[in-house]
DNA sequence: TATACTTTTGCAACAATGTTGCAAATTAAT
DNA sequence: ATTAATTTGCAACATTGTTGCAAAAGTATA
């Protein structure tokens, strides 16, 4: 299973035309391990071997540019990242699913099965993207 | 009109059991003037007489606590505040309306008329609050 | 209105988070 | 294996948010 993840990661990086570096692989492993959203601090803590802060910032930015990850809106200054499903990549990072933030454990999850409803705005507004963040108590904490 | 706003502001502060201070009045005036959401930097710039940064942080926190303003989720590190409508106050700060972020002018607006649709999550999830942030091109920039 | 009491403000110092330039190290290509 | 291109780590800095404490402003009472 670890080697399977590794293959997957290498494939992902290749298809994004990114070189295979230790940092990128480690960070993607973290994403695959924890199936919730991660913030910058998590990478500094979770990675046994700690990378330089700058490298993490740059790696996440690269992943954003390539559509490998996307950001999740928050009401504080923390920036949360989640790994994208296939539909997100290639084009723009439209997330066509709902994000859930648990008030108990603090984790943020992508609810891939839950579609975002159609929202009709007043006339004159052009809609490009819709973000839905639900907060409450998650399955595990219930 | 300026005096009418002032009266309104004083009334608002009184009903929240807050003392009437210059900073609070000025900041609320800014909220009423600009009908979009504001972030911290706006207060430092927009207020002719610049207040201390710390005072602004504390004032906004106080307004949050009293339910006078609410935060709007963003995907960056900026924290955006909008003034609450009457339904928001008193209880928890549930925003029962959609937020719109214009990609052209960068402004964020509350669309009070646009209701948030009901979202049904998978079993096991307790929903407390739903945030919807739509991005695109606003009326004015169209 | 003057006084005492409470709250708020501003300053200083600090902590956390994010950015930029540049040299050294790593990865990719020949 | 050597060269060329990319990535990383360090240092230094910019921005954003927090805390303690004394001075100032606001509120309440006489």
Burial of B36 (0-12, 13-18, 19+ CB in 10 A): buried
| pTM, rounded to two decimals | 0.87
> d(Cα B31, Cα B37) in Å, to the nearest integer?
8
pLDDT at B49: 63
Give phi and psi for A35, each to the nearest 5: -85, 15
Bridge partners (DSSP) of residue A108 are A101
**For the segment A23-49, what is each residue's pLDDT rounded down to a tens digit?**
999 999 999 988 789 999 888 776 666
CB contact under 8 A, A129 and B135: yes
In A, minimum Cα distance to B127 occurs at: A136
Q: Are B51 and B67 in contact (CB under 8 A)?
A: no
Q: Which nucleotides of C are covered by protein (CB under 7 A)?
A: 7-13, 17-21, 26-28
Distance, CA of B95 to C1' of C15, in Å: 32
Nearest to A36 by CA among A93, A104, A118, A92: A104
Cα B84 to Cα A15, A48, A57, B58: the distances in Å are 46, 44, 35, 18
Chain B residues near residue A133 by CB distance under 8 angstroms: 73, 130-131, 133
- In chain B, beta strands by DSSP E: 38-39, 69-72, 80-83, 98-102, 108-111, 126-137
pLDDT at B14: 96
CB contact under 8 A, B74 and A76: no
Nearest nucleotide, C1' to the C-alpha of B10? D26
State both tokens at A4.
């399977």
Distance, CA of A84 to C1' of C1, in Å: 69
Distance, CA of B132 to C1' of C19, in Å: 30
Task: Kindly determine whether the C-beta of residue A54 is less than 7 Å away from any atom of nucleic acid strand D.
Answer: yes
Helix (H) or strand (E) holding A82: strand A80-83
**For the segment B31-88, what is each residue's pLDDT rounded down to a tens digit?**
998 878 999 888 877 666 678 999 999 999 999 999 999 999 999 999 999 998 654 4
Contact partners, residue B7, CB within 8 Å, separation at least 6: none
Q: Which of B79, B119, B128 sits opposite A117 (nearest CB)?
A: B119
> d(Cα B142, Cα B140) in Å, to the nearest integer?
6
Interface-testing mutation among A60, A64, A74, with chain B (most B C-beta atoms within 10 A): A74
**For the segment A55-107, what is each residue's pLDDT rounded down to a tens digit?**
999 999 999 999 999 999 999 999 999 998 754 544 444 557 899 999 888 88
Contact partners, residue A33, CB within 8 Å, separation at least 6: none
pLDDT at B41: 84
Contact partners, residue B94, CB within 8 Å, separation at least 6: B88, B129
Task: Kindly determine whether the C-beta of residue A22 is less than 7 Å away from any atom of nucleic acid strand D.
Answer: yes
State both tokens at B89.
């106050």
Q: How far is B57 from chain A (nearest CA, A)?
A: 13
C-alpha triplet A67, A71, A73: angle, nearest 5°: 150
């Amino acid at each position: 299973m670890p080697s399977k993840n590794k293959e997957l990661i290498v494939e992902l990086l290749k298809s994004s035309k990114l070189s295979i570096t230790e940092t990128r692989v480690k960070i993607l492993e973290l994403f695959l391990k924890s199936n919730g959203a991660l913030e910058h601090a998590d990478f500094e803590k979770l990675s046994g071997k700690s990378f330089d802060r700058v490298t993490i910032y740059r790696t996440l930015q690269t992943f954003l540019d390539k559509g490998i990850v996307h950001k999740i809106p928050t009401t504080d200054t923390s920036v949360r990242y989640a790994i994208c499903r296939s539909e997100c990549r290639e084009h723009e990072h439209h997330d066509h699913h709902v994000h859930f933030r648990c008030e108990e454990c603090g984790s943020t999850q992508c609810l891939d099965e839950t579609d975002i409803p159609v929202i009709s705005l007043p006339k004159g507004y052009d809609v490009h993207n819709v973000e839905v963040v639900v907060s409450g108590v998650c399955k595990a904490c219930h």
